[in-house]
Structure 1
Amino acid sequence: MASGRAAPEIFGRESELRRLRELVGDVAAKRGSAIWLEGESGIGKTALLSRLTDEAERLGCQVFHSSADRLAHRFPLRVALDCLDINARAADATYRDICSRLHDGDQLDRVDPLPAVVERLVGIVEHACTETPVVMVIDDIHWADEASMLVWHQLNRLVDELPLLMVAAARPLRSRIDLGSLQQECRAGATLIPLPPLDAEAVTRLAGHLTGTAEIGPAMRRTLERAGGNPLYVRELVDSLSREGHVAKRDGGRVADLPAEVAEPPLPRSLAESLTSRLSFVNTDTIGLLRMAALLGQTFSVTDLRKVSERPVVALAGAMEEALAAGLLVESGSRLAFQHGLIRHALCETTPTALRVALHNQAARALAESGAPIERVGEQLRASLAIDDTELDDGFLDWLAHNGRMLAYRAPESATELLSTALSLLPTGDARRGALQAAKARTLVALGRPEQAQALCERVLAETRDRCLASEMSWYLAWSLAVRGLDEQAAEVVERALRTPGFERPWLARMHAMLGQVMLVRGEFESANSAVKQALSEARPVHDGFALGLALHVRAAALARQCDLAGAVDCYDQARAELDDAPENTDLRLLVLGNRMVLLFGLGRAEDAESALHEMLAIAERTATPTQLASVRLSAANHYYTTGRWDDAVAELDAVVELADRMPRQNRRCLHGLSALIAGHREDAETFGRKLAGVDDPGPESLEGAEFLLLGRGMQAEMENAPQRAVALLTEVLLRGERFGTRYLWLPLLVRLAMSTGDTAAGTRAAQACEDDAAVGAVPNIVAAAQHCRGLLDREPAAVRAAAEIYRTINQPPRHAQALEDLAVLLAERGQISAARAEYARAVEIYTELGASWDLRRADARLRPHGVRRARGRRPRATTGWDSLTPTERKVARLVADGLANPDIAATLFSSRRTIEVHVSHILAKLGVRSRVEVAVIAMRNATNASRDGHELASK
């Protein structure tokens, strides 16, 4: 029977809809088949089935449709009978007779009627197929009874002979091993169409439809990420936000967003209860454990859940497997994560307040007693404070006094709230106050809150008589001033501290190093060098690695500013050797490694730069604060972009987005610019436009972090056939007079566009600026850019060829390809068509590997007037299945099949753990699976197919 329900609007399922329509068209043309539509609850299976049945009826097919439920398995053949509309009141006598036989068969003295009835039902469908093509649909078939599955199985075997389309929709409710054998066979014998979560663009379109607007603002987009791409959850979240009055429309009703004051709206109780009620298909014991897991955070370890729940791992295994199979949890490296933030929030919100407080406190004590990392203890304490105005007891105050400094290094956000609460509870004379105050100052430093750190330090210094505490707080005070550019005041603090009798020697060494840094900022190189020497002499006797590292960092920075890059690298090597893995050294270690990596890459030592990057990532992922981690991942994305590993760059940028609100302005500018640039190269117009619009243009005060944004603006102008606009923008930036930085990245673009518009003056100015920069440091990057600019200006192929060779040598495929493209154009202009075609073919090979479709189109347009054309490119990449995976994703999938964990895969591929996590997430979505086991099966199957195809090809 037809569903009779109106089909809702569908977003992000264009390829699936197209496939379903093709199959309905096939059955209308009397070619049968079987489909198994699979996806989690709410993912959109029913909506697709509704579209399918509408299309089938439009083409004149006879449609049978039903939906199973949780009780269906108790009634043999219930689902099959409902689908065929067979009941005791049916007008057809045959149908009434079938129902009578089933009813009478309940008597003990009669023969079991089921086998005969199954055969009759199969016969009914066969007969229907002789009259008109048939489409038979069962939604939620995972609940179907065994007898109905037998009917389905037998009909599945007939689809090659009959105009019959069998369509089943199922939830991945259990692991494949737990499915009934008939369901396994039916699934295996059908065309599997997985429904992964919607991507961000589809979610945005759906939300725009629900709100009646053309665009969704950034705050609302972030909130919608909680839905995890599930369209049902998106609808319920938007409806709930609208009912609560949290959706504001602006720009004449064109844009829907959340007001600033509710940028992180709480989950309404009604929505939380609605969401948890949908989890009734999961065992109640599993729900109870998921409530505990939800309190541990969006991601959690099974070890922590074992400690908090006080159950052995064996007792947790079944529940976690069920939650994974149901799509409530997903793997996240060695941890588990809630696939939908909404579900986690709903489980928390529907846990009674008193119970939540007790569970958070129990979790904190259990984790502390078991020796778990202190940041996890701190998270639980902080969560308990946020509920019902609870307070820290004396035991936790002792714990904070003992662990506060370490917590400040590892989890500064939790630390600042806990320490503030603890200090408010302690009387003035309490012996624990000093340790808590020092820990809070360190927390404010880690969080980048210099004004608050200054106020706290000045207050403590005015009150304390503890020389050790005064020494430490003087250091934090100097930092809070220096980091804001208040060099004179910072120098006064340092010099006053150095004159103070009894000043602690380790802090004395650090103060001298800080003084050196202040002098370096002022440009007083001799004074800076003198302070550094004093710091080193004071730090070595007490073996203070931090003071030694800071002093050597200042010396290296001074050498770099004086263009002795090799000497600076040596100095950074010494600083790296002095800094151990103590948590307080993390910031400085990352700074040293980051500067060292940039210099190594600039000197053409790409492999050494790559090693430095891996070391940075390992440290950041293990111990860095969110702000530090975002900065390191951004450095990784920059490196991967430059070296042509764009899929890895995109993965890192995806990870950085999660931390964007904690980044300084110049880093956000770099994030948006680099994301836009890759999207522009790959002709992802929506992302390109959104990223460029999502950040302000650099102001006249600084270009820091703006290189990729400038390149993106130039690309945008060229795409819109307005190169004069790009020339004007880049020339204006050039005229600001900033030199020897990163402008070499965009100067070749300025020269090329200037020459294409006939603006020789702008081109000459840009080429001369790049040559001036190259003369200062003789850095391969800048030397190549200078030759590139000069060749474009003088229309001289030899100079561009030399630049291309340097780019190739120092492993910069994108710039190498651009130089080859420009070389091909110059050769073609001289009539050297054969040589131009050869260089163009090399550029095309690189562009194709990068997926740089815009560059291919631009190059085609530039060379076509000279009669140079490329061979047709590869077919577009599939959007789902194994063929949709990028080369990097295929490597990751094969390593998953080899049984490697994410950290091991990261080490094998010289990547970061988070990058691999993003790749694995993309792989799961593209393959439409939920576990690494299923990824392994598909990878091994494709490896087997590839091997067989290779043998067959070799034998021909």
Structure 2
Amino acid sequence: MAGAGGPLSRSGLRGREQELGQIEALVTSVARTGSSGLALIRGEPGIGKTTLLAAAVSTARQSGYSVGVGKADELHHIVPLSSLAACVLHGDRPLLSAGTFADIARNHDQRIWLLERLAEAIEARAGNMPVLIGLDDVQWADPLSRFALRQLPLRLRTSPVLWLLAGRREPAGPAEEIVEAARGSLPVATVALGPLSGAAIAQLAGDTLGTAADERIRDLLDGAGGNPFLAVEMLAALRDAESSDDLVPRGLVVGVRGRLRSLQADTLRFLQMGAVLGRRFGFHDAAALCGRPAAALINALEEAVGAGILDDDGDHLVFRHDLLRQAVYVDISPSARKALHREAARGLVAAGRPPVDAVSHILRGSAPGDEEAVSLLRRAAEDVLPVTPGLAADLMTHALELVPSARPLRYAVGEQTILFLTRAGRNGEAVSTGDRLLAERPPLEEFSRLQAGLGGALWNMDRAAELRRRAEAALATAGAVPRITARLTALRTLALSRDHDLVAAREAGEAALRAAVQAGDRDAHTLALSGLGEIAQNAGENALALDRFAALSALDSAFLPEEIIAHLHVDDFDAGGRLLLEATEAGTTRQAMLSWAQGQHDLGLGRLDDADAAFATMEHLENEVNAPVQQVNGRVIRSWIALLCGDRDAARLHLAAAREGLEAKPNPGNTAAMRFLEALHADADGDPGLCVDRIRQVERVGPFMRWRVLRDWAGPAIRMALNGADEELAGELAAQAAAHAERNPSVPTATGVAAHARGLVENDLTALQRAVEVLDSGPRPLVRAAAAADLGRTFLAAGRAHRAVPALTHARDTLAATGARAAATLVQRDLEKAGVGSRKPAAVQRPVQGWEALTASERKIARLVAQGHTNRSAADLLVISPHTVNTHLTSVFRKLSINSRVQLANLVTALPGD
């Protein structure tokens, strides 16, 4: 500790030995185990959080850590990633160069992509040494940094990364959000700092004054309430007033505000301007706010630094503690503060700073009718929309509040607000905002614009009928300019894609496409092609759907996943695979939808483990950005996969999740998929009556073959109908499959499924043989195996066991190769009825723990990671996304009961050679 006249920066460690030991134990544990950890230091201002964090950082450096530490700022909490930037750009070995960081933040418009780049940089560094990332004043972290801090500790939990946060007590604040996200996945320590004991305060007095505190000083220090910062400030004043005989030295008041009263008027004014700008500010910015040249304020600056109020790091001035800034700030009258913030915003923009840097001042200094503030908020919202759409929506909402209802500007701001709320996934708010504006009876053109702006939110909320009604009402007013008319027409097409009359929908879509092209409006063009693609896929016209979605992805590469899936519907898995690789390498902005396409690709090729991982990844990514689009269908497929593999517990969990998702998103497609999944579960439970009931419910929602998720399952659906003695239902399904094949004559799966359906309904061995033959030329092993199994069973029922055996063997081996162990076991039982035993069980139940519990993909990834590969390098080798690697790796660690890459490497090394 410092003696008399020495530095006071570590004085807060007095009385904190236990807390420091707790954090140092975590520092040691992360370095030793190779797995991550998180610690939160929390307490009131001045209680010693920053000092304790600094001591922990010093320990980590001495232990060989690569350290990056930053500090969030109250008035800079709007700037995306500003808080975390300091952590990765500064320190002994910066994780990223400033140029690389700028490229990451500037060139991509997806939070998930940006997050993965940060994770890769940290993971790569952690492969060589443990990493500490510390953030002080986390309560003021910007939204994107908060998002990253909620996700990165989980993403990097198998690497030696220690996250060290310090912040104020806020039960529902950012710090608690981050801790709750990490809890249960990695070690979490919460270090709560309370007031120092009287003994510790007395030790502080001895450190500062160089002598034991007498009764007079102890009485004075009681006013600090155990707060070390306040105590140190009081002790500093005592030390500086040693010659005074006063009981209370001149200028000392309990707290910090009294220290300011001895300053010159110019110095106090300068400090007040700095306090308005924030804890960290530029000398020239403060001088400009004072209305004086910088040279005239040098003496004021020197006095503020000499008094221990400010530190000067050469680039910026920084209040030595936020309590000092607050003490200066609250002495400015509220009306003056508001005016100064408004002037600060104007000055920052005039100096060439981006609008987002001025936003905090705008929010504190603007008043209704301030159109300059509205303009700045709109520009800032546009800048941050790509990476923090929620923040952009908040800024636009505030901008709208500043525009009185009588101003023409109100509807333009309102339209932008609706669009940004929709982009942020806040669809309900978008609709309510639009309805409030519409209730103000805007001019006809503005009425049409607002209705067009609401289209995306209504579509996201599955309110297709309302979308159609609103679009038609707006079109009927004839008040819109051509491009808005084109958008409304295209939105109507999108709504009609859910309608029963798809012929009329297609005609409307063609008209919408012509209108979009003629108007030259890209949004309308995108909407029209999207609607036409949806209509074609719902009608089962797969080649036409591919044409539409290929044109759509050419117009906007963000829609590449839709083109990939369209290729799969025509059995062109080669093209789909090439596009998946292209999209993965390019880093599409729609990572969740790309994972959905990857899952469909893997499912079609019978890679059940990979498909399950892709759908799990998709759900995780959708949750990250609050955009649950495919989660019901994803859970439906995962439940079906679990049934095929014999994992009934997982199948039931996915079924429950699908039901929950359906309640939130009860559209016809989700409903149909859910009812069919219930039929599959009823079949597994031996309840044919319930199977028939659920398939009938699918038919009531719409024709079975309309629902894309179900088309390849027509054979199992017909088999369940026949088992339930509903030949009429089976015939209806077979007729739909035949019509679907007629629309897709060049697609082997469509032709083969139709032959399979006819063979089952008519008990026609020739049709079943034809189905197997056609499906063998296609890419889908599960569909092929289902047809082969039914062919074998039909031969067996006809007493032709010798013909049944080859078909059943083919089905069993195909299913076993995909990992569908339960389905393979069922076929094996049919083989046994045919008199064919098995040298080994067709489907050995995979254990739930240990190396043998790992799937083939998980083993590949485990070996690569054990060799030192990062998620990115493993993904590149396996031609999948890093997100999918992370999903597999999470499963690997759970099954192996380990929590670090070091443990994985040791385990793999100890395995016997394959």
Length-normalised TM-score, structure 2: 0.57
Please tell me the residue identity of whatever aligns with 1:623: T
Deviations 1:336-370 (A, max 9, x none): 79699448687789599x99xx9x9889999x9xx
Unaligned residue ranges in structure 2 (runs of 5+): 1-16, 75-79, 96-121, 135-151, 165-177, 195-226, 230-274, 283-314, 316-344, 346-353
User: Residue 820 of structure 1: which of 760, 784, 788 is its match?
Assistant: 788
Moved more, 736-745 or 598-607: 736-745
Please tell me the residue identity of whatever aligns with 2:656: A
In the alignment, the residues of structure 2 paired with residue 448 and residue 328 of structure 1 have an alpha-carbon distance, to the nearest angstrom, of 24
Judge conservation of contact 1:291–1:347 (CA < 8 Å) in 2. no
Task: Provide the residue aligned with 1:917 in structure 2.
Answer: 886
> Secondary structure of the residue that 2:31 maps to in structure 1?
coil
Task: Provide the residue aligned with 2:550 in structure 1.
Answer: 573
Judge conservation of contact 1:710–1:746 (CA < 8 Å) in 2. no
Task: Provide the residue aligned with 1:837 in structure 2.
Answer: 805
1:650 and 2:475 correspond: no
CA spacing shift, 1:597–1:807, aligned 2, 3 Å: farther
User: Residue 741 of structure 1: which of 692, 702, 706 is its match?
Assistant: 706
Judge conservation of contact 1:330–1:337 (CA < 8 Å) in 2. no
CA spacing shift, 1:667–1:796, aligned 2, 3 Å: same
CA spacing shift, 1:361–1:611, aligned 2, 3 Å: farther
1:684 and 2:541 correspond: no
> Secondary structure of the residue that 1:704 maps to in structure 2?
helix
Deviations 1:890-915 (A, max 9, x none): 33344446765434543543433311
Task: Provide the residue aligned with 2:325 in structure 1.
Answer: none
> Secondary structure of the residue that 2:93 maps to in structure 1?
helix
CA spacing shift, 1:333–1:784, aligned 2, 3 Å: farther
Task: Provide the residue aligned with 1:420 in structure 2.
Answer: 397
In the alignment, the residues of structure 1 paired with residue 356 and residue 867 of structure 2 have an alpha-carbon distance, to the nearest angstrom, of 37
In the alignment, the residues of structure 1 paired with residue 357 and residue 768 of structure 2 have an alpha-carbon distance, to the nearest angstrom, of 56
1:637 and 2:606 correspond: no
Give 1:34-113 correspondences, 5 Å limit.
Answer: none
CA spacing shift, 1:175–1:723, aligned 2, 3 Å: same
Task: Provide the residue aligned with 2:717 in structure 1.
Answer: 750
Judge conservation of contact 1:563–1:776 (CA < 8 Å) in 2. yes
CA spacing shift, 1:761–1:558, aligned 2, 3 Å: closer
Please tell me the residue identity of whatever aligns with 1:688: A
Judge conservation of contact 2:419–2:453 (CA < 8 Å) in 1. yes
User: Residue 825 of structure 2: which of 854, 857, 882 is its match?
Assistant: 857
> Secondary structure of the residue that 2:156 maps to in structure 1?
strand
In the alignment, the residues of structure 2 paired with residue 746 and residue 425 of structure 1 have an alpha-carbon distance, to the nearest angstrom, of 55
Judge conservation of contact 2:33–2:160 (CA < 8 Å) in 1. no
Judge conservation of contact 1:892–1:920 (CA < 8 Å) in 2. yes
Please tell me the residue identity of whatever aligns with 2:749: N
Give 1:183-198 correspondences, 5 Å limit.
Answer: none
Task: Provide the residue aligned with 1:331 in structure 2.
Answer: 156
Deviations 1:680-731 (A, max 9, x none): 2222232222332344498999641245544543333233332333234324
CA spacing shift, 1:506–1:611, aligned 2, 3 Å: farther
Which structure would you say has the larger RCO, counting Cα contacts within 8 Å and 6 or more residues apart? 2
In the alignment, the residues of structure 1 paired with residue 896 and residue 597 of structure 2 have an alpha-carbon distance, to the nearest angstrom, of 30
Deviations 1:396-436 (A, max 9, x none): 98764313135345433333334334544677799997775
Task: Provide the residue aligned with 1:799 in structure 2.
Answer: 767
1:609 and 2:557 correspond: no
In the alignment, the residues of structure 2 paired with residue 850 and residue 898 of structure 1 have an alpha-carbon distance, to the nearest angstrom, of 27
Judge conservation of contact 1:532–1:554 (CA < 8 Å) in 2. no
In the alignment, the residues of structure 2 paired with residue 924 and residue 341 of structure 1 have an alpha-carbon distance, to the nearest angstrom, of 21
Shift of residue 334 of structure 1? 11
Deviations 1:786-813 (A, max 9, x none): 2112222333344233323444433222
Task: Provide the residue aligned with 1:585 in structure 2.
Answer: none
For the aligned residue pairs, the C-alpha RMSD in angstroms reads 5.9
> Secondary structure of the residue that 2:670 maps to in structure 1?
coil
> Secondary structure of the residue that 1:174 maps to in structure 2?
helix
> Secondary structure of the residue that 2:525 maps to in structure 1?
helix
Shift of residue 443 of structure 1? 1.7
- The number of residues matched between the two structures is 654
Judge conservation of contact 2:73–2:279 (CA < 8 Å) in 1. no
Task: Provide the residue aligned with 1:885 in structure 2.
Answer: 854
Judge conservation of contact 2:73–2:83 (CA < 8 Å) in 1. no
Please tell me the residue identity of whatever aligns with 2:878: L
In the alignment, the residues of structure 2 paired with residue 722 and residue 377 of structure 1 have an alpha-carbon distance, to the nearest angstrom, of 64
CA spacing shift, 1:835–1:381, aligned 2, 3 Å: farther
CA spacing shift, 1:924–1:442, aligned 2, 3 Å: same
In the alignment, the residues of structure 2 paired with residue 472 and residue 332 of structure 1 have an alpha-carbon distance, to the nearest angstrom, of 47
Task: Provide the residue aligned with 2:515 in structure 1.
Answer: 534
Judge conservation of contact 1:791–1:797 (CA < 8 Å) in 2. yes
CA spacing shift, 1:557–1:918, aligned 2, 3 Å: closer
CA spacing shift, 1:927–1:361, aligned 2, 3 Å: farther
CA spacing shift, 1:897–1:783, aligned 2, 3 Å: same
In the alignment, the residues of structure 2 paired with residue 468 and residue 929 of structure 1 have an alpha-carbon distance, to the nearest angstrom, of 62
Deviations 1:297-352 (A, max 9, x none): xxxx9997452587335178999944689998762799979699448687789599
User: Residue 718 of structure 1: which of 659, 683, 686 is its match?
Assistant: 683
Judge conservation of contact 1:295–1:348 (CA < 8 Å) in 2. no
In the alignment, the residues of structure 2 paired with residue 907 and residue 380 of structure 1 have an alpha-carbon distance, to the nearest angstrom, of 41
CA spacing shift, 1:937–1:349, aligned 2, 3 Å: closer
Task: Provide the residue aligned with 1:493 in structure 2.
Answer: 474
Judge conservation of contact 2:355–2:376 (CA < 8 Å) in 1. no
In the alignment, the residues of structure 2 paired with residue 849 and residue 651 of structure 1 have an alpha-carbon distance, to the nearest angstrom, of 17
CA spacing shift, 1:601–1:648, aligned 2, 3 Å: same
Deviations 1:190-221 (A, max 9, x none): xxxxxx99xxxxxxxxxxxxxxxxxxxxxxxx
User: Residue 846 of structure 1: which of 814, 823, 834 is its match?
Assistant: 814
Shift of residue 476 of structure 1? 0.6
Judge conservation of contact 1:723–1:753 (CA < 8 Å) in 2. yes
